[in-house]
């Protein structure tokens, strides 16, 4: 948590300094963006996890949502294609995760272990922990708006170096087989725990949109938003009966080399 705090403070500090140090429309002398090739290193805060899109109707409320991990470092290569257009690609390493507690009603699930299986409809609380360490390769088209603003968009490919998806269910019950089946109750003191980490895909892809604000000649602040376009779980995984897509937001500062 200390390193995370430090990152956040660094980010805030640099944004602060940037905002006070320059006036918005003053052209930046000797802007490295004017050169055809460039390299940039970035660091920031990454927030994200896998989420159902749209929310399934069995999800009745989100009782808590706490991000964890939350750090990203990135190296990018830049190529200027014209006065406004360009390309940006690189490698981002991010650690992100989220802990959520949701209340579900009549949520269809199938637990499979070896050949044994328990299917049914669960009503109650579910506390879920997601943890990822992701290697992302975005390939973005960039577009300059004036001297300071730049927009970017494009696809990305992602490899999960580490992924965990685990949690517990409690204060609820499972109706076995059908909503009128045998009721099996779970208590907060005796929850049923689960770990579906190995049912998560390693290879993910999606699209990224972002914007960047050039504070100094070399220093910029950026925000990027990633939306996964393939299910975070393997096709054969039936326990979560709706698709979950990885989403992530990265906020950070970049430094042109």
Partner 1 sequence: MMPIPLKSSLRFAALLALSLWGPASCIRDEEPNAEADIETATLHVSAPEAFFFHASDSVQHVSSADTAIRFDVRWGADLSALSPEFTLTAGATIAPASGSTHDFSGEGVFYTVTSQDGAWQRRYRVWFRPIRSDTTPTTTQVHFDFEDFALDATTQKYYIWNEPNGVLDADCWATGNPGFRLSKSTAQPVDYPTVPLEQGRTGHGVQLTTRSTLPFGAMVNMRLAAGNLFIGKFDVTNAMRDAMQATQFGKPFTLAPLRFEGWYRYAAGANYQNRNGVVQPDSVDCADIYAVFYRNTAADGTPVTLHGDDVLTHPALVAVARVQSLHETDEWTPFAVDFAYRSEVNDSILAARGYSLAIVASSSRDGASFCGAVGSTLLIDDFSVTCKSQQP
Q: Please report, as ranges, the residues that interact with partner 1 according to CB under 8 A.
A: 1, 4-5, 8-9, 12-13, 16, 45, 47-48, 51-62, 65-67, 70, 98, 105-106, 111, 113-118, 121, 173, 175-176, 178-187, 190-194, 225, 227, 247-249, 251
Tell me whether residue 89 or residue 112 sits nearer to partner 1 (CB atom): 112
* Least separation in angstroms between CB 51 and partner 1: 6
Q: Where are the beta strands (DSSP E) in the chain?
A: 37-52, 59-80, 85-113, 116-145, 149-176, 183-186, 192-195, 203-214, 219-228, 244-256
Contact assessment for residue 211 and residue 151, using Cβ atoms and an 8 Å cutoff:
yes
Tell me whether residue 80 or residue 108 sits nearer to partner 1 (CB atom): 108
* Least separation in angstroms between CB 80 and partner 1: 29
* Least separation in angstroms between CB 230 and partner 1: 16
* Least separation in angstroms between CB 28 and partner 1: 25
Contact assessment for residue 98 and residue 49, using Cβ atoms and an 8 Å cutoff:
yes
Contact assessment for residue 44 and residue 252, using Cβ atoms and an 8 Å cutoff:
yes
3-state SS class at 257: coil
Quick one: tokens of 215?
């504070």
Quick one: tokens of 199?
């049912």
* Least separation in angstroms between CB 159 and partner 1: 22
Tell me whether residue 23 or residue 180 sits nearer to partner 1 (CB atom): 180
CB environment 147-172: b (16+ within 10 A), e (fewer): ebebebbbebebebeebbbebbbbeb
* Least separation in angstroms between CB 106 and partner 1: 5
DSSP β-bridge partners for residue 109: 120
Tell me whether residue 50 or residue 78 sits nearer to partner 1 (CB atom): 50
Tell me whether residue 33 or residue 56 sits nearer to partner 1 (CB atom): 56
Tell me whether residue 47 or residue 78 sits nearer to partner 1 (CB atom): 47
Contact assessment for residue 6 and residue 209, using Cβ atoms and an 8 Å cutoff:
no
Cβ neighbour number for residue 54 with a 10 Å cutoff: 9
3-state SS class at 74: strand
Tell me whether residue 89 or residue 99 sits nearer to partner 1 (CB atom): 99
* Least separation in angstroms between CB 202 and partner 1: 23
């Amino acid at each position: 948590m200390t390193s995370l705090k430090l990152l956040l403070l660094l980010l805030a500090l640099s944004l602060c300094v940037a905002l006070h140090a320059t006036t918005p429309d003053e052209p930046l002398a000797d802007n490295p963006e004017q050169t055809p090739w460039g390299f940039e290193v970035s660091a920031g805060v990454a927030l994200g996890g896998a989420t159902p899109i749209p929310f399934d109707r069995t999800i009745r409320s989100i009782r808590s949502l706490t991000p964890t991990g939350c750090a990203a470092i990135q190296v990018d290569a830049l190529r200027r294609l014209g006065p406004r257009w360009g390309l940006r690609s690189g490698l981002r390493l991010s650690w992100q995760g989220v802990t959520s507690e949701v209340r579900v009603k009549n949520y269809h699930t199938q637990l499979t272990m070896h050949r044994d299986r328990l299917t049914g409809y669960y009503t109650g609380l579910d506390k879920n922990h997601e943890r990822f360490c992701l290697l992302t390769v975005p390939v973005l088209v960039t577009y300059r708006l004036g001297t300071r603003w730049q927009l970017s968009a494009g696809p990305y490919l992602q490899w999960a170096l580490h992924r965990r998806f685990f949690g517990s269910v409690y204060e609820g019950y499972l109706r076995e087989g059908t909503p009128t089946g045998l009721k099996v109750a779970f208590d907060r003191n005796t929850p049923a725990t689960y770990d579906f980490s190995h049912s998560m895909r390693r290879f993910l892809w999606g699209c990224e949109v972002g914007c960047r604000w050039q504070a100094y000649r070399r220093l910029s602040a950026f925000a990027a938003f990633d939306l996964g376009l393939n299910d975070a779980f393997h096709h054969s995984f039936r326990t979560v009966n709706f698709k979950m897509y990885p989403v992530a937001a990265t906020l950070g500062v970049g430094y042109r080399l």
